[in-house]
Amino acid sequence: MRYDVIVIGAGIVGVSVALHLQAAGRSVILVDKVGAAGTGTSYGNAGLVERASIIPYAFPRALSEIIRYGLNRSADAHYHASFLPRIAPFLFSYWRNSSPLRLAEAARDLLPLFEASVSEHDAFLNDSPNAAALFSRRGWIKAFHNGDALAAAVSDAEALASFGLTWEAMDSNGLAQIEPYVRNMAGAIHWKDPITALDPGAVTAAYADLFILRGGSLKAADAMGLRQEGTLWRVSAGNEVVCAREAVVAAGPWSADILGRLGYRFPLAVKRGYHMHYSLEAGTTLTHPLLDATTGYVLAPMAKGVRLTTGVEIAPRDARPTPVQLDRAEAAALRIFPLGKRVDPEPWMGFRPVFADMRPAIGKISGSDGLWAAFGHGHHGFTLGPATGRLLAEMICGRKPFVNPVPYSPTRFRGQVKS
């Protein structure tokens, strides 16, 4: 079966690329290993379209923070000690790129994508018959256990005045006005620009439904067999072979594996994370996603109940789950909110694909005609998926990109070309 473009990966990024290419008049097939959209990383996140995240998640630089994380007892970070020798080069590069100067450069490069995050989601929501009802426009809350941490966060927010973000600082009484069942917090910052999803996996599936409604095709395929024959890219989808002149690899944490089989080497790492859903005790409510910034977890109202999402686990991608962070975060969460019983039979584990320079890879991969990248968004794949889809579609179609694509170029990595 012949198409203009094969898009590999039916997470939020791949679905968004497919939708934008389709809107540009290209015939597109979307393939995924399970043949369904929104079942991986796009399912398990906190559901934030994070317009307010101007500064990327950086590696800790203060000695006190490094010591705290080194003790491996925190809820917001956990590591497998046996994995550290293998991941050390990445962590060192991540630490170097988190210097104040380099972090500011990364923030500047990512800013145009974040500025377009909500509007690009809205463009899909306007046409999707199912997705709009899954979103709230109340923003989210960053809460603190002590006044000093709150004051520092307010100073940081004031320093972002030039970015035009809307926020409100509140003490414990103000927090109680909008979240009456949250307790034992000194205060919070209410970020009002982001939109939030009640089921991010269902949002991704709804966007995929829009793609199919417009004539697109979504099939199960083993993308590890992607190959180029002549001028065409081919992949097996069941008993069929689909081919196209262009192929987009948007498979999140598996993207480097797919490209590795083609001879490419990308320094992609994976931050693991967990979530669990909880019932609400009778009569209680939670109406905003809430980050306990002191401890490092998020409580988010979802269709299945309250979702608790953890911080970062540094471990081999395919190692067995070790959700010790979830237990620590749950104990902390019960001190500030009356969580009910666990809903899921076991913790969900997902993977955040990330590069040490904190920028995704979006653009043409050198060395092979018609091969494109759209992966490595770290904590912000759900936020940046639609904006990434627009940018890459414009590049593939030879149109003027709406933002400068150079900072995201896959060619910025040494050894990216075929070995």
pTM: 0.96
Q: pLDDT at position 417, please? A: 52
pLDDT at residue 363, as a whole number: 97
Nearest 5°: CA angle at 374, between 368 and 379?
A: 150
Torsion angle, alpha carbons of 96, 98, 102, 108, to 10:
150
Tokens (6 digits) for 245 = 């002149």
pLDDT at 366 (0 to 100): 87
Of the candidates 76, 46, 59, the one whose C-alpha atom is nearest the C-alpha of residue 141 is 46
Three-state SS for 354-390 is ECCCCCCEEEECCCCCCEEEEECEHHHHHHHHHHHHH
The class that CATH gives domain 2-45+201-267+357-412 is: alpha beta
Chain CA centroid to CA 160, Å = 22
| pLDDT averaged per 10 residues, the chain (length 419) | 96 98 98 94 95 92 92 94 97 97 97 97 93 95 97 96 94 97 98 97 97 96 94 93 97 97 95 97 94 97 97 97 96 97 97 97 92 97 98 98 97 70
Is the dihedral angle over the CA atoms 278, 284, 290, 295 positive or is it negative?
negative
Helix ranges, 81-146 (H): 84-97, 100-115, 117-125
Residue-level pLDDT at 252: 97
The length of the chain is 419
Element (H, E) at 325: helix 324-333
Q: How far apart are CA 59 and CA 99, in angstroms?
A: 9
Element (H, E) at 341: strand 339-342
- Using only C-alpha atoms, what is the Rg of the chain? 21
In this predicted model, what pLDDT tens digit does every residue of 294-309 receive, in sequence order? 999 999 999 999 999 9
